[in-house]
Chain A
Amino acid sequence: MAAVIEVTALAKTWGGRPLLRIPQLVLEAGSSYVLSGDNGAGKSTLLRILAGLEPAQVERFAFEGNLLQLDRLPAPVRRQIGFVHQHPYMFSSSALANVEYGLRVRGMPRNGRARLAQEALAWAGMAELADAPALRLSGGEQQRVALARVKVLSPRVYLLDEPTANLDADGRRRVIDLIAQLASADKVVVIACHDQEMINLPGVVRLHLENGSLS
């Protein structure tokens, strides 16, 4: 399997205290990873570092074999990494406009992006709520809009931070089903979670974060 992301000697300190110390992390195409660990173990921080949202010391970072600076990822690489926040932020517009956002900043014309966004919302089971104000949606619905908002950009890497936290049983079920569909031969999916059901999903690579290192 081809390595999409390779990180060597990643270190992160928080308030002078070491939080993460990871000698090596290789994320391969076609694999899904479940990142578990206690609250405060640094799961979110690790995902945020990989998404380029948080600075860290990294000796070597390669994306699809190209050596890069993590804190200065070129736009085309940054756009290959999709990140979904634990509590996704909804722009104060319709669900559809939220999903269109990434296409709009890529300069896609209105017609094309509306069609793609509609398809992504339909995939997430949210077609009927396309015109609803995103802020009025339930937590589960917002999480699905957030997944559609990233999927429509078809990034190479999905980084999902606690996607099922704070959702009711039905919302959780739907989100887990959607996440299972994100995985494919050329994608990398990394999910930080506590959710036992997801941790035990067949075929996922389990990573456990404890005392700052992966096992």
Chain B
Amino acid sequence: MDLLDTSREAFRLLFSGDPTLWGIVWVSIKVSVLALILAGPLAVAVGFVLAHVAFPGRRLLVILVQAFQSFPTVVVGLLLYLLLSRQGPLGALHLLFTQPAMIFGQMVIAFPVLAAYTLTAVQGADPRAHETAASLGAGRVRAAMTTLWEVRFGVMAAVFMGFGRIISEIGCSLMVGGNIAGLTRNIPTAIALETSKGEFAQGVALGIVLIVLALAVNVALAAVQGQGGMRQAWQP
């Protein structure tokens, strides 16, 4: 099969609504979005606390969160595999090669990205935002929520960065998902493994979907960051 035929077949799969192909896309989006929803609130809270509250060991935690952003996903997969495999400490849960295992892995991968970008956003917040909220009667949690709302574009950027990191990761999904057709096969695992079996057209079609997703996330991110630049810098 030459490149032209492959591309033609890829577009045919995309636009004919091929159920296998779109099923794989759905697994990817579902797993990554759920991972973001589940990891998001705690990660954002951790990012806020690290940026806002002084406590012993804070500096070390900030360094760890930033370092874990580039933790190899395949190692996250390996550790999770060891935990979830039949002889592992969590083997009784029978979660290996399931979507929940993939979701958990992606939560672990997204967490430091979400926390680190939230940390940066909150550090960039005007300190008067929290103070004003507090002096108008807001309690700790309310004042924190107000500050996060004031830097919402930065927090949204954190979410987009997290999504970008997990939608295209393959190491962990492959290790703990196992690329089971119709169940745990997502875009990256399908491209890597189906191409090696000669399913070129599907690989190209999925590659196109992944690129479009990545571009869409980056366009959204740029739009969001453009919005965030509107407040003029405050000079005391």
Contact = CB atoms under 8 A, between A and B. Distances in A.
Nearest to B234: A87
Interface residues on A, range: 20 to 34
Contacts of A163: none
Q: Interface of chain B, helix or strand or loop or mixed?
A: helix
A135 B137 contact: no
Nearest to B153: A92
B53 to A, nearest CB: 15
Contacts of A150: 136
Given A89-B129, A91-B146, A92-B150, A135 B231 contact: yes
A12 to B, nearest CB: 17
A92 to B, nearest CB: 6
Given A89-B126, A91-B150, A75 B139 contact: yes
Interface residues on B, range: 20 to 34
Contacts of B59: none
A105 B142 contact: yes
Contacts of B135: 51, 53, 81-83
Contact of B136 (A87, A92, A135, A149): A149
Interface in A138-193: 149-150, 153
B136 A53 contact: no
A83 B135 CA distance: 6
B132 A88 contact: yes
Contacts of B129: 89, 91
Interface in B193-236: 230-231, 234, 236
Interface string B183-195: 0000000000000
A75 B137 CA distance: 7
B131 A89 contact: yes
B29 interface: no
B132 A89 contact: yes
B133 interface: yes
Nearest to A85: B128
B134 interface: yes
A123 interface: no
A105 B236 contact: no
A91 B128 CA distance: 10
Q: Which residue of B138, B146, B149 has the most chain A CB atoms within 10 A of its CB atom?
A: B138
Nearest to A101: B136
B206 to A, nearest CB: 40
B161 to A, nearest CB: 22
Interface in B105-159: 126, 128-129, 131-139, 142, 146, 149-150
Q: Which residue of A78, A82, A85, A105 has the most chain B CB atoms within 10 A of its CB atom?
A: A105
A125 interface: no
A79 interface: yes
Nearest to B228: A92
A87 B126 CA distance: 12
B51 to A, nearest CB: 17
Contacts of B230: 135
A153 B136 contact: yes
Contacts of A101: 133, 136, 138, 146
Interface of B: 126, 128-129, 131-139, 142, 146, 149-150, 230-231, 234, 236
The 3 closest A-B pairs by CB, nearest first: A89-B128, A102-B136, A89-B132
17 contacts: A53-B131, A75-B139, A78-B137, A87-B128, A89-B126, A89-B131, A89-B132, A91-B132, A91-B150, A92-B231, A101-B138, A101-B146, A102-B136, A105-B139, A106-B137, A135-B231, A153-B137
